[in-house]
Structure 1
Amino acid sequence: MPTRVLVAYGTTNGSTAQIAETVAGVLVEEGMTAQARPARSVTSVGPYDAVIVGGALYAGRWHRDARRFLLRHHRELAERPLWLFSSGPLDASASEWDIPPVPDVRHAMDRLTVTEHVTFGGCLEAGAKGPIARMLLRGGKGGDFRDVPAIEKWAAQIAAGLPPG
């Protein structure tokens, strides 16, 4: 049976969901069974051999759904490999250097055994929800800063470290 991987995510405007779907797609290409699901919809991580959790960054905080997911499932997560990713810088910084985890993520990493955390550039486009997003867009801070090849490379590295099943 192929290794089963959950890619759970917290997103408001869909950019982090697209990253999660890209990660899951690479894992499937590498012979895993992978699902990208909204973190708030996951009732158990029991069916999965490994878990990846992603959260959008808003005002220096990890998305609430991602934070709550880690709290809700911390016992089960302690029993399987776990990776974390953040998405959010609205510039090229995530592609230029490693961005340290925000305090919410650092706190989770201190409580759980996390194999790795990485931050990817974010995406904020017209029609985004939320007052902060609208303010950023009015100030000219929007755009798509996701580095899809970097996301795919990271997912392939995860796949290489997991047994194929």
Structure 2
Amino acid sequence: MTGKTGKVLVTYGTTNGSTAQIAEAIAEVLRKDGLTVEALPARSVTSVSPYDAVVVGGGLYAGRWHKDARRFVRRHHRGLAERPLWLFSSGPLDASAAERDIPPVPGVRKAMTELDANEHVTFGGCLEEGAKGWVARMILRSGKGGDFRDFTQIETWAGRIAGESTARET
């Protein structure tokens, strides 16, 4: 990357849209810091070669990253290994992600190691009425849903990425 003209991909795997909203919030912070950013669903990305850095996020389901995020990392493994990479997860349906650092699930930890990712963070999740899927409906029926995303935490993390991305140039 040169200067603040670097192009960053923020990509994500989501089922009900809350991880997409986190990705959009990250992309907005990076844009405000002068970076060129595209936020795209992981399944729609055909190549990472146009990007100087990549942020990949996935919702957590039963201890695994969203299948689109997992497939993206597998499909673009070589390209991701050649550029700065940050990973995030969204999922806990309680305040735990705001209270402490939650380590990545095993599959994400493996990807971090193999790809030498800069950082991973787990943000709180969101599951609200109208969510797709039998398990989601059961969780909601049991009263365990809600929005546990902390956008201040998300924007702070994105600001660190922006700082690291622009610092690489100097």
Q: Which residue of the partner structure matches residue 104 of structure 1?
A: 107
Residue 96 of structure 2 is aligned to residue 93 of structure 1:
yes
User: Could you tell me the TM-score, scaled by structure 1's length?
Assistant: 0.98
User: What residue ranges of structure 2 are gaps of 5+ in the alignment?
Assistant: none
How much does 1:162 deviate?
A: 1.0
Q: Which residue of the partner structure matches residue 43 of structure 1?
A: 46
C-alpha distance in 2 between matches for 1:71 and 1:33:
25
C-alpha distance in 2 between matches for 1:83 and 1:5:
11
Q: Which residue of the partner structure matches residue 26 of structure 1?
A: 29
Which portions of structure 1, spanning 4 or more consecutive aligned residues, are displaced by more than 6 angstroms? none
Q: 1:1-165 maps to which residues of 2 (within 5 A)?
A: 2-163=5-166
Which amino acid counterpart does residue 86 of structure 1 have in structure 2? S
Three-state SS of the structure 2 residue aligned to 1:7 is strand
How much does 1:22 deviate?
A: 0.2
How much does 1:163 deviate?
A: 2.2
Three-state SS of the structure 1 residue aligned to 2:38 is strand
Q: How many pairs does the alignment contain?
A: 165
Three-state SS of the structure 2 residue aligned to 1:163 is helix
User: Could you tell me the TM-score, scaled by structure 2's length?
Assistant: 0.95
How much does 1:104 deviate?
A: 1.3
- The percent identity for this pair of structures is 71
